[in-house]
């Protein structure tokens, strides 16, 4: 099943900033939070497993169990959304300028700086990948020029998630839906923060909490609208609860009492959310075409992911087991390159499968367990190599330009 990030994240690696011990407003660690890099690594690893193993050739009992277990890696997209809601809301409230009475000062510079920084972060690689696909995709048999010419505008305009109800999806770009969700969130959410956090952060917390609670109702309305099954999974209203769960967590962790509550509750929230997801999904074979799963599963996942994000943030700088696991170099490396990995991995997978299946030797390779495992290792390494190249050639230069082109100013958090 095509899935996202931070988005994705969209899925997105941390900027090349050196970690700092000085706290952010509200007492949170400043600079690059290493445990969140590791959490991104977990999320993108799940997405890669889900996609690369979707053509596993074995049909035995253990084959089916393996594919079913690793196929749940699509839940990494829910984790990316919660991460995005948390980090984006934190950036917005930490940079919102206030007067001496704690009232927000509307500032075009605040809003435009945020949008420019987001554009520098996500647009260069996204549009470079889309341009390369438009040129090379027809030659590789991944799309015909007529289809890309007629349907490509959904992707150029960051509306790829809405291509699903319109029945105009380009398969090799189907994973871009989550990047569209994220971009639509980036455009609208600053206005919500400005209005809701005009005097204090508490109203913003209530707004985010209301959106979390409304998630199942929004997905139910979409699922019963007559649109194709899976639309509620992909269109932005159906994913607001995950983004809002991250926003709620950002507000909660910016107060001493909220951090104390999160420190006590995060393991139980993560366990309760995961248990609810399993209890709902297991009897239905985790079939995301099942209406109950489509409507309710993401609520449990948002709770579980919120618990994990809270635990990761609170573990930063400690020597606990969670900090050691998430700060491990391999996970952090995956997290750093997660945006590039997300963008390139699915076209690599679709293109490689098509090329191999077109030859007798390639088809024989994919028909055996050992051969397919070899293919997965090769496709994953190729995707990682491409992500490393795009990080060095595209992402990092634009990240370094952010402070020059759109400097971030810190305000007092009320």
Say if CB 94 and CB 24 are below 8 A apart. Answer: yes
Tell me which of 95-104, 278-287, 394-403 is least confident. Answer: 95-104
Instruction: Please choose, from the candidates 340, 357, 311, the residue with its C-alpha nearest in 3D space to the C-alpha of residue 82.
Output: 311
Give residue 317's pLDDT. 86
pLDDT level of residue 61 (50, 70, 90 thresholds): confident
Give residue 26's pLDDT. 55
pLDDT digits (tens, 9 = 90+) for 110-123: 888 899 999 999 99
pLDDT level of residue 4 (50, 70, 90 thresholds): very low
Q: Is the pLDDT of residue 1 over 60?
A: no
pLDDT digits (tens, 9 = 90+) for 264-300: 999 999 999 999 999 999 998 888 788 999 999 999 9
* Residue written as token pair 């991250």: 246
pLDDT digits (tens, 9 = 90+) for 159-176: 999 999 999 999 999 999
Burial of 364 per CB tally in 10 Å (0-12, 13-18, 19+): exposed
Say if CB 224 and CB 303 are below 8 A apart. Answer: no
pLDDT digits (tens, 9 = 90+) for 240-250: 999 999 999 99
3-state SS record for 306-321: HHHHHHHHHHCCCCCH
pLDDT level of residue 101 (50, 70, 90 thresholds): low
Q: Is the pLDDT of residue 23 over 70?
A: no
Residue 138's contacts (CB-CB under 8 Å, 6 or more residues apart) are 144, 145, 148
Is the model more confident about 357 or about 111? 357
Q: Mean pLDDT for the chain?
A: 89
Q: Is the pLDDT of residue 202 over 60?
A: yes
């Amino acid at each position: 099943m095509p899935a996202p990030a931070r988005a994705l994240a969209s899925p997105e690696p941390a900027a090349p900033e050196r970690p700092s011990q000085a706290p952010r407003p509200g007492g949170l660690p400043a600079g690059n939070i290493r445990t969140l890099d590791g959490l991104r690594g977990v999320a993108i690893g799940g997405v890669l497993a889900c996609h690369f193993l979707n053509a596993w050739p074995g049909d035995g009992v253990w084959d089916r169990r393996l594919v079913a277990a690793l196929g749940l890696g699509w839940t990494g997209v829910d984790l990316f959304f919660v991460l995005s809601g948390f980090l984006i809301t934190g950036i917005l409230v930490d940079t919102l300028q206030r007067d001496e009475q704690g009232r927000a000062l509307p500032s075009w510079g605040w809003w435009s700086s945020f949008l420019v920084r987001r554009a520098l972060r996500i647009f260069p690689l996204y549009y470079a990948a889309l341009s390369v696909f438009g040129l090379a995709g027809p030659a590789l048999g991944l799309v015909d020029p007529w289809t890309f010419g007629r349907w490509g505008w959904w992707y150029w305009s960051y509306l790829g998630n809405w291509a699903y109800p319109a029945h105009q999806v380009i398969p090799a770009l189907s994973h871009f839906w989550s990047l569209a969700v994220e971009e639509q969130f980036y455009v609208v959410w600053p206005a919500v923060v400005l209005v809701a956090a005009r005097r204090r952060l508490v109203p913003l917390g209530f707004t985010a909490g209301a959106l979390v609670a409304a998630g199942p109702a929004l997905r139910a309305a979409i699922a019963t609208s007559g649109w194709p099954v899976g639309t509620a999974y992909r269109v932005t209203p159906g994913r607001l609860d995950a983004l809002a769960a991250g926003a709620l967590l950002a507000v909660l962790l910016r107060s001493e009492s909220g951090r104390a509550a999160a420190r006590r509750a995060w393991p139980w929230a993560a366990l309760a959310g995961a248990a609810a997801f399993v209890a709902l999904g297991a009897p239905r074979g985790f079939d995301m075409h099942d209406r109950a799963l489509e409507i309710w599963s993401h609520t449990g996942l948002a709770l579980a992911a919120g618990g994990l994000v809270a635990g990761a943030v609170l573990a930063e700088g400690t020597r606990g087991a969670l900090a050691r696991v998430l700060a491990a170099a391999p996970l952090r490396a995956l997290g750093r390159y997660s945006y590039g990995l997300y963008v390139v991995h699915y076209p690599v997978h679709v293109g490689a499968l098509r090329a191999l299946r077109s030859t007798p030797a390639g088809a024989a390779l994919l028909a055996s367990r050992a051969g397919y495992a070899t293919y997965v290792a090769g496709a994953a390494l190729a995707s990682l190599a491409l992500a490393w190249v795009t990080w060095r050639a595209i992402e990092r230069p634009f990240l370094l330009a952010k402070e020059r082109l759109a400097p971030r100013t810190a305000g007092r958090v009320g």
